[in-house]
Amino acid sequence: MNLKLKIWRQKNSNDKGKIVDYAISDIEPDMSFLEMLDVLNDELINKGETPVAFDHDCREGICGSCSLFINGRAHGPDTGIATCQLHMRKFKDGDTIYIEPFRARAFPVIKDLAVDRSAFDRIQHAGGYVSVNTSGNTQDANNIPIPKENADTAFDSATCIGCGACVAACKNSSARLFVSAKVSQMALLPQGQIEAKTRVLNMTEQMDKEGFGNCSNTGACEVECPKGISLENIARQIREYAKATTATKK
C-alpha cells in the first residue's frame, strides 16, 4: 500500500505546531497502525530527521497508552479497539490519512502526537480508590457476597483503560465517560459505599477543575470507547452526585 500521511508535528508544548505531509510506500495491509508509524520513523531517522513522537506500550489494547485521532476519529475508523489494534487493511491504497493528537485543553500536547493525560491521574487521586486498612486482619474481598448482576456491571465499568478516547471524541472534550466508569466500579460494590459521597463529589470537582467540557449526551464517547463503557455509567454518576449533594449533612 502507498499512503499519504498528514501528521501533526509540534516540537514541544510551547511550539505552535502544524500538519506536515509525508508519503509512505510498501505498507503491508496486515501491519498495525503503530507498525506503519514505526516504518515511517525508521525512514525519518535514516534521513536524519526527527521521528514522530507518539504514545504506545502494550500494543495489545490493554494499557491505554496509544492515542491518536485518525481521519477524524479517536483510534481511527473502527469501534471497540485502541489504535494498536487498528490494522492497515482498514485503509485503501492511495488513501490520505490525517493523524492528530487527542485534542483537549486538559490534555496539552507534549510533543507531536503525544499528549499529557495526567489530568486523569489527578481525578483518580481525588477519589478513585477505596481506603483499606491493611493491618493484617483485612477481610478477603471474595468473602463478601455480591449479587452477580452488580459484580458483572462493576466489572464492566472497571474495564476502562483510561485511554482518553472518550475525551478526544467528545465535541466538548468531556471526561464524563472516564470519570463515571471510575465512580461506577466502586458505587456498585459494598467496599465502595463508605467513601461513596466524597468520592463522587471530589472526582467531579477535580474533573471540572481540569477544564474538561460538560456532557451533551451526544454518545460519541460510547461509540469510540475501546472497552464499550456505556452511557449508563454517566447516568449512575449523576445519581450518585445527586444523592451526595442532597443528602442531609451529618
Partner 1 sequence: MSKSGLFRLTIGRKIAMALSALFLMIFLLQHLTINFSAVVSPDTFNELSHFMGTNPVIQFFAQPILIFAVVFHFVMGFILEIRNRKARPINYAKNNGAANSTWMSRNMIYSGLVILAFLVLHFIDFWLPEMNYKYIEMNAADPNRYYEELLHKFAHPARVIAYVVAFILLALHLLHGFGSAFQSMGQNNKYIDSLKKFGVFYSIVVPLGFIITAIALYLQH
Binding site for ligand FES (CB under 6 A): 56-59, 61-66, 82-84
Report the partner that residue 181 touches, choosing among ligand FES, ligand SF4, partner 1, none (CB closer than 5 to 8 A by kind).
ligand SF4
The CA distances from residue 14 to 8, 52, 74, 112, 166, in Å, are: 14, 17, 24, 12, 25
Contacts of 42 (CB under 8 A, 6+ apart): none
Q: Which is nearer to ligand SF4, 161 or 186 (CB)?
A: 161
6 binds, among partner 1, ligand SF4, ligand FES, none (CB under 5 to 8 A by kind): partner 1
Least separation in angstroms between CB 246 and ligand HEM: 18
DSSP structure string for 24-74: E----TTSBHHHHHHHHHHHHHHTTPPPPP---SSSSSSS-----EETTEE
Residues that bind ligand HEM (CB under 6 A): 214, 216-217
Cell of 156: 464492566
Using CB under 6 A, list all residues that contact ligand SF4: 160-166, 177-178, 181, 225-227, 229
The smaller minimum CB distance to ligand HEM, of residues 216 and 245, is found at: 216
* Buried b or exposed e, range 201-216, using 16+ CB within 10 angstroms: bbbbebbeebebbebe
Q: Which is nearer to ligand FES, 64 or 192 (CB)?
A: 64
β-pairing verdict for 73-74 and 69-70: antiparallel
Q: How far is the CB of 184 from ligand HEM (least distance, A)?
A: 20
82 binds, among ligand FES, ligand SF4, ligand HEM, none (CB under 5 to 8 A by kind): ligand FES
Q: What are phi and psi of 74, to 5 degrees?
A: -65, 130
Cβ atoms of 236 and 180 within 8 Å: the answer is yes
Helix axes 176-187, 231-246, angle to 10 degrees: 70
- The listed partner (ligand HEM, ligand FES, ligand SF4, none) that binds 217, CB under 5 to 8 Å by sort, is ligand HEM
Taking the least distance from each CB to ligand SF4, the nearer of 127 and 164 is 164
| Nearest CB to ligand HEM, comparing residues 188 and 221 | 221
CB of 167 to ligand SF4, least distance (A): 7
